[in-house]
Amino acid sequence: MAEITATLVRELRDETGLPMMDCKKALTEAGGDKEKAKETLRKNGVALQGKRGDRETAFGRFGIYHGVDKSSGAVVELKCESAPVANSAEFIQLANDLAQALATGPGAKTADELLDQPSPSKPGKTLRDVKDDMFNRIREVFNVGRLMRFDGGTGAYSHNSGTVSGVLLLVEGGTNEAAKDVAMHVAAMRPLALNKEEIDPALVDKEREILKEAALKEGKPANIVDKMVEGRLRNFYAEKALLEQPFVKEPSLTVSKFAEAAGMKIKKFLHWELGRE
């Protein structure tokens, strides 16, 4: 058996980021073979992840890959157990790598499909390898949540202080700055749909009934109530439909008019808040 020297243990620790005692034990089991020891450490970490899989992952962030000149964009929800880890550079890198892989690779319908794809920033490793290595060093559970890819030009915004949220827009034309401005608007104003036609009809009918009842209580003639209600529904649409909303940075314009002035067509959007399906 090869001698397990302090230098060899230190090399393995530097390469894996794991405690000295764990590295020494793995080297002893591997007969001094450093690569075998790494594999042992990795397997031990995967086993430990399985035991801790039910831990709550209430923190995290959204990795986003976007650009109005790119062929696709994506957003991926990555969750962890604590705020310090969620704000660490390597966690941010993994979240963004997940989004980049989803946008530029073959696509994925599930977290497992995505994790088995190559890491954009760690050549020779899959995203799962990177995730497992991080768990081995940090000993926090990481869970990949929702993921979505839009094919076409995209704009995005991620808000990571207070309520963590991510916005992705599918656009045609425009600039990254204009698209980001609209994405920030979405995060602030939380529209329910792109336009009034896409609002849930049940919500519209409920609002219509509320407005009708209010008009009748005001003593309005029954024969004009329906027309009044349809007029008042414009305020409801302006509150719930993105394209109808007054643009937060220039309230004299609707989002639709702002986009038009920027030479941009907004085709679709998503707005996710961490942990809220």
The DSSP secondary structure of 88-145, one letter per residue, reads SHHHHHHHHHHHHHHHHSS--SSHHHHHTSBPSSSTT-BHHHHHHHHHHHH----EEE
Task: Report the distance separating Cα 242 and Cα 185, nearest Å.
Answer: 9
Q: Which of 177, 159, 180 is nearest to 169 (CA)?
A: 180
* pLDDT for 224: 84
Task: Report the distance separating Cα 123 and Cα 154, nearest Å.
Answer: 26
Say if 78 falls within a structural domain: yes
171 and 85 in a common domain:
yes
263 and 141 in a common domain:
yes
Cα dist from 143 to 72, 81, 276, whole Å: 24, 9, 14
* pLDDT for 163: 63
Q: Please report, for the domain that includes residue 223, its CATH number.
A: 1.10.286.20
Contact in structure between 148 and 233 (CB atoms under 8 Å): no
Output the CA angle 214-219-225, nearest 5 degrees: 65
* pLDDT for 30: 78
184 and 86 in a common domain:
yes
128 and 10 in a common domain:
no
149 and 45 in a common domain:
no
Task: Report the distance separating Cα 248 and Cα 135, nearest Å.
Answer: 41
187 and 134 in a common domain:
yes
186 and 215 in a common domain:
no
Say if 1 falls within a structural domain: no
145 and 75 in a common domain:
yes
Report the residue count for the chain: 277
Contact in structure between 234 and 204 (CB atoms under 8 Å): no
Say if 261 falls within a structural domain: yes
Q: Which of 70, 67, 129 is nearest to 94 (CA)?
A: 129
* pLDDT for 52: 56
13 and 101 in a common domain:
no
What is the DSSP track for 17-47?
A: ---HHHHHHHHHHTTT-HHHHHHHHHHHHHH
pLDDT along the chain (277 residues), means of 10: 71 72 76 77 60 74 96 96 92 96 97 97 95 84 94 94 84 97 96 96 92 84 82 91 96 97 98 86
Say if 123 falls within a structural domain: yes
* pLDDT for 276: 78
43 and 82 in a common domain:
no
163 and 141 in a common domain:
yes
28 and 101 in a common domain:
no
Q: Please report, for the domain that includes residue 119, its CATH number.
A: 3.30.479.20
- What is the count of structural domains for the chain? 3
Range of the domain at 212: 200-240
Q: Please report, for the domain that includes residue 47, its CATH number.
A: 1.10.8.10
* pLDDT for 13: 74
Say if 28 falls within a structural domain: yes
Say if 258 falls within a structural domain: yes
* pLDDT for 265: 98
* pLDDT for 51: 52
